Each structure stands twice: as C-alpha cells, then as structure tokens.
Structure 1
Amino acid sequence: GSITDSDLVLRVFSDYEIQTCIHLAAQTAVGIANRAPVPTFETNIRGSWIVLDAARQWPGLEQMLVASSDKAYGAHKDLPYSESVALQGDHPYDVSKLCTDMIARTYANTYGLPVAITRCANMYGGGDLNWNRIVPGTMRSVINREPPVIRSDGKPKRDYVYVQDIVRACIMLIENLAKDRDAHSGMAYNFGTDDPVTALEMVESILDISGDNNVKPIIQNAASNEIQDQYLSSKLAEERLGWKAEYSLHDGLLETF
C-alpha cells in the first residue's frame, strides 16, 4: 500500500487499534528529491498529513512521533542549530521535511494530537544500501578495493549519528510523551552527536577502520543543492529527555563495517 492512500492509512489505524504511531515513511534521498521533486512532495508532505489526519480521526491513539530532519533548518550562519532556529529550507528535500515538521506541530497545537517531532542529524548504520550516501558508498568501495568517491569538495561539515542512538532517541521520546503529554506534545527535538566532521574526515575514518589507508578518495567537487556546514545542538534532548548519543564515530563505523 501507499502512505498517500488516505482510506488505507485510516483503516490501518482502525484495524490494528494503533495506540503508538512512529511515522518514519519518507523519500529520504536528496539527489532523488532534486531530480523528482513532485513525487518527493507527494510522499513526504501529502503522506505526512494523511498519517496525521488518520491519527486525529482514530480515538485510540495515545502518542505519536513524526520524523522531520536537520535539513528543515536550511542554511544558517550560527552553528550549531538549536530548536529555536527558524526553519528555512530552500531545496526540495529540505522543504518537504520543513512542511512535515510544521504540519505535525499544526495537528498538535490545533487538534491536541499527542505528537512530538524528531530532527535528526545524518544517520548511518547497518542495512543502509543507498550507495549514494557517504557511509555505505565508501564502505562498498573499500570492500570492492576501489577508491571512494566524494561528490563535494570534501569540506562540508556534518553531524553523523549511529542508527542505534536514534532508535533509543525515538523510544525515549515516545516514553516521555506517554508520561507527560502536555510537556512534549508539539515539541521538536534535535538528535545528534555534537561532534561534526567533514566529508573527507568521514571517508578517512572509514579507510582507517578498514585498514586500507593507502587508498586515496576521488574528490569530484560536483555536489549541488547542499548546505556547506550543518550540525545540531542536542542540549534540549539531554536536558528534557535524558538522551545523549552513546556511540562515538569510530565505534558506530566499526559496528557498521
């Protein structure tokens, strides 16, 4: 079925008597969003309001989480981004997550829907087979004994967070929302490591873990519609949820590899 099928989504809530909903469904590839904005908007924006409206109509819902993204912030000079920074994404994927974020908060503030929002840094981990992403793409190149490719000039700085830390973040946020709906409903939380690295540093870290330090990456300097430096402050999540990333970049990459 499709996330944009409103009748199907509402039936899922009813048939399975959903109490907790974690909405992660999305088109997540920036490159695909640039090439095909309309399907991205259909999935990420329309799909989100359909899920949120089904949740509004289903009386059994007790708590809900919606995944936004650090990309919703767009480009800002002041780093790291806190949750109070304006959402001003300019490009298709960024705008699609910005809209998802704002629609979720609309349902919380207007209809009292018990929904909270996650804004996660760049996630990586086992099972990600999107070879256009820097971590799986570089690891595949290393395994195939090929030089890894960096699409940018290697200098863009990002915060990379291991998927197990994000799973724990989602569970902790849902649990806190269940305990105190008023304190967390309509709230957005950043989740990252507070330790950003450049694209070149990320590739070098993977090469170091693989033991193949003699390979030199190919730097294409061809990335478009991407923000130069973007990373988050996770201070609010630590203060209000007790969450903090547990995996270092080295440990997360080692487990992924």
Structure 2
Amino acid sequence: MKLENKKVVVTGSEGFIGSHLVEALIVQGAEVTALVQYNSFNSWGWIDSLEPTVKNSIRVVSGDIREYDNIKKIIKGNDVVFHLAALIAIPYSYQSPMSYIRTNVEGTANVLEASRELNVEKVIHTSTSETYGSALYVPIDEKHPLQGQSPYSASKIGADMLAQSYHLSYELPVATLRPFNTYGPRQSSRAVIPTIISQISSGKKIIDLGDVTPTRDFSYVKDTVNAFLKVAESDLSIGKIMNAGSGKEISIGQLFYTICKLMGANVELNIEQQRIRPANSEVNRLLADNRYLKEVTGWESRYSLEDGLIETIRWIDKNINHYKPNIYNV
C-alpha cells in the first residue's frame, strides 16, 4: 500500500510519537485527520508546535476514543487508521487502573469495531514491549509469553488480543507494531531520558531517578515512526505482531552516565524511593529481537543511541520551559 493520497486517521496524534507520525505522513503525501483528546482549552498538544505548513495540511478533530459514536464519525471515509491513543504512564496505572481499562481496552475496541463496520483498508495498532514483562529469554521475539506486570501492561495485552481477535474473527486488516522504548524530542518527563536531560539542563546537581539496574532497548522516535510507515505499506504485515527495537540494551545507570558525558555534566545520582516500582511489577530486562519486522517490512534502524540522544538533548535544552524538573511526573 502506498500512503500517498490515502485518507488517514491518527489517534493519539497530539502525543509524543503521534505528532512525529503526523509530520511523516504529511511528507508521504497522505491526507491526515488528527484525532486529539477533547479539552476545554482547545489545545492540540504537540500538533500546536508543528510548522505552519504541516499544521495547515492537517484536519484536526477533538474527541475521545472511549466514545464509540464520535469515533465512528471520525473514521468514516478514511482508508487507514493508525491507533496510538492510550494511557501510557506506568506509575499512574497503579493509582487508577480502571482508567487504563476504559481507555486502552474499551477505546481500542471502539476503534476496531468502527473500522470493521466502515471497511477501512488497514488498521495499525500500537502495542508496547511492556506486554512481555521481565524477559524470560533475550533477545525477546514475538513468541515470548505476555506478562501483565502492571495495570498498564495488562491493559495493553487486552488491547492486543482484541486486535488479533478482530483479524481472526472478522478478517479486519490489522497489523500490530510493538515498539520498545522510544525516545526523542517532545517526550514527557514521565520517561527516563527526558527526566535525566531536563534535570541536568535546568541546573540541578543531584539527579533523582528510580531503580537504575533494569535494562532497556531504546529507539529514536524517527526510527519508530519509520516502522509505523513500513508496517502500513507492507501487505505482508496484516495479521502480524512485530517488534520495533534497536536490538541493543543498556542499563538505566549506564544511560545516566552516557547522558552526563554527552552534556558535560558533573552531577550526582540520587535513588528516590517514590520512583521505584513495586518489586514484582518492575520489568528488569528488555531487549528486542527485531528480525521479524525487518523480514516483513524491510525496516532498518538508522539512529545510534548516541546520535538520538544528542538530538534529544539539543531539543530539550531549547524547550526546557515545557518541563518541571523539580516535580516527579507520575
């Protein structure tokens, strides 16, 4: 499938990855409808920050994926749906698990059902490496057992199973992309990389983090967005679940010292108890086996961790006003 001239809906378009995906789709020549969560401030999230030539090319609509009738109206007349809308903050899922079920599970069901009724050409559903839980073996391939170690991961497992069920039961053309840890410009400080960079950039000398022993597989946002595009374009991806990751892992402690070196920062690390997950809920190791995504779509990672970190540091330095480094962002 070529995305040029396709009518495309992006849910979660105002978010970190969604806004980058919208930009890329415009470059591809798609006609983009960007669904942003309704709010009384008429804020379009990161879409408000896009270049005027890009923003003026987008049809922005407000809504809520938990509300079926409006979702069906938004999807009607479109060819492709990129479903990224979700609650994603793991710590907050401990405080409000039902909100994750309503948004991530019921919201996904609404998108799938509307897409089925309207006969869309393709749905690209967004999963997460958190569905694997702590690695039972590495690298983690798509056959690895799913483990709901947090309310967030459990809700995403439910959403993934719904997506598969709609393909198997109704032949809905669904493809599921399972990104590992994406980072880059516009990411909130609920994630570890902007947490470290924003604290250093703001002048703090003691940097607060949680457990620094877990390892993660980090992908720069442009690589993740390219994976979304490749999955959409590939006819072979229908019915498939595919990992998007760099295939390299680094501990949070090593990541901290790498960022310090790149920023020339002489700072101390403080392990803050409130940032540590419950022991049985922590995911200790994530490392992607990305061979299946490459086989199905031809995707390749283009950014090294260091190159992506340098771009992210530059962006956060220029946009430090978007962050509140002295407040723990749940």
- Is the shorter-chain TM-score for this pair beyond 0.5, marking a shared fold? yes
Paired residues of 1:83 and 1:190 also in contact (CA < 8 A): yes
1:208 aligned residue (261, 264, 270): 261
Question: CA deviation digits over 1:184-223, x for unaligned, max 9?
Answer: 22100000001110001111111111111x2122123651
Report how far residue 142 of structure 1 moved.
Answer: 0.7
* Two-structure CA RMSD over aligned residues (Å): 1.2
1:160 and 2:218 matched: yes
| Distance across 1 between alignment mates of 2:132 and 2:229 | 24
1:240 and 2:296 matched: yes
Q: Which amino acid aligns with 1:255?
A: E
Q: Which amino acid aligns with 1:204?
A: Y
The residue aligned with 1:73 is: 132
| Distance across 1 between alignment mates of 2:101 and 2:78 | 26
| Distance across 2 between alignment mates of 1:256 and 1:207 | 13
Give the unaligned 5+ runs of structure 2.
1-62, 314-330
1:98 and 2:157 matched: yes
How many aligned positions are there? 246
1:120 and 2:120 matched: no
Q: Which amino acid aligns with 1:242?
A: G
Paired residues of 2:135 and 2:284 also in contact (CA < 8 A): no
The residue aligned with 1:35 is: 95
Report how far residue 75 of structure 1 moved.
Answer: 2.6
| Distance across 1 between alignment mates of 2:64 and 2:114 | 14
Paired residues of 2:237 and 2:297 also in contact (CA < 8 A): no
| Distance across 1 between alignment mates of 2:69 and 2:190 | 34
Q: Which amino acid aligns with 1:127?
A: R
Q: Which amino acid aligns with 2:80?
A: T
Q: Secondary structure at the match of 1:229?
A: coil
| Distance across 2 between alignment mates of 1:53 and 1:149 | 43
Paired residues of 1:80 and 1:232 also in contact (CA < 8 A): yes
Give the unaligned 5+ runs of structure 1.
none
TM-score by length of 2: 0.72
Report how far residue 88 of structure 1 moved.
Answer: 2.2
1:191 and 2:231 matched: no
| Distance across 1 between alignment mates of 2:68 and 2:287 | 35
Report how far residue 77 of structure 1 moved.
Answer: 2.1
| Distance across 2 between alignment mates of 1:200 and 1:164 | 24
Paired residues of 1:150 and 1:200 also in contact (CA < 8 A): no
TM-score by length of 1: 0.92
Q: Which amino acid aligns with 1:73?
A: Y
| Distance across 1 between alignment mates of 2:207 and 2:295 | 39
Structure with more contact order per residue of length (Cα contacts < 8 Å, sep ≥ 6): 1
| Distance across 2 between alignment mates of 1:90 and 1:252 | 29
Report how far residue 90 of structure 1 moved.
Answer: 2.8
1:3 aligned residue (65, 70, 74): 65
Q: Which amino acid aligns with 1:23?
A: H
Paired residues of 1:75 and 1:227 also in contact (CA < 8 A): yes
Paired residues of 1:150 and 1:199 also in contact (CA < 8 A): no
Q: Secondary structure at the match of 2:123?
A: strand
Q: Secondary structure at the match of 1:110?
A: helix
1:23 aligned residue (64, 80, 83): 83
Percent sequence identity over matched residues? 30
Q: Secondary structure at the match of 1:148?
A: strand
| Distance across 1 between alignment mates of 2:300 and 2:282 | 27
